[in-house]
Chain A
């Protein structure tokens, strides 16, 4: 059975802290791993990773994939209250469709 696991499930930090969110997977026919941020409504896309060891960055957020150890991390530096959200990890199994999502990490950033 295809499975995506995220840890921690919940995290509370203060503004300015750095956080690392983890995503591990056991799937067949891996194509890519994606990170989404979900605030009140629709998940919004952050990163798509297909190759091991290549870091993707967007401002204070960065992510990297390890296809040998089957995991990815999402780092957020100098956190802000606006980073409070659920962060979802998903794995794409084959061409186009069929994404498996993890349970999400709920991040709360306190002022």
Chain B
């Protein structure tokens, strides 16, 4: 049982490049979320999904895109990377009112 799997673990991009951060879960959780974590700012919600085919914006959605075609996968796309998007990205899943389970994160640097 892998839980929440994020890939890649590390990535370096150049400004203007695009890429997709992957998140996969095998717990059959209906809720999935993407957060970014910056020093001193805790976790900020980027986008979330309450089920396949349904997504919504969080606190800091600009520059990011998501889709949810299956229960298991919730990829996060950076459309045109900017240095301000340098951060650690976490995917989280949950079911009902239960606490979220987090992946190990993707450390992203944009030059």
Contacts and interface: CB of A to CB of B under 8 A. Distances in A.
Interface in A29-84: 31-32, 34, 41-45, 48
A100 B45 CA distance: 8
A91 to B, nearest CB: 11
Interface residues of B, number: 26
A101 interface: yes
Contacts of B33: 97, 99
B40 A42 contact: no
Interface in A1-41: 4, 6, 9, 31-32, 34, 41
Contacts of A41: 104-105
A74 B35 CA distance: 23
A96 B96 contact: yes
B105 A42 contact: yes
A76 B105 CA distance: 26
B31 interface: yes
Contact of A97 (B40, B43, B48, B90): B48
Given A42-B103, A96-B96, A101 B44 contact: yes
B96 A98 contact: no
Given A101-B43, A103-B40, A42 B102 contact: yes
Given A41-B105, A43-B102, A88 B31 contact: no
Contacts of A42: 4, 90, 102-105
Among B44, B48, B99, B102: residue with most chain A CB under 10 A: B99
A103 to B, nearest CB: 4
B97 A96 contact: yes
Interface string B19-44: 00000000000110101000011111
B105 A34 contact: no
B108 interface: no
Contacts of A88: 42-43
B44 A99 contact: no
B99 A97 contact: no
Interface of B: 4, 30-31, 33, 35, 40-45, 48, 50, 58, 90, 94-97, 99-105
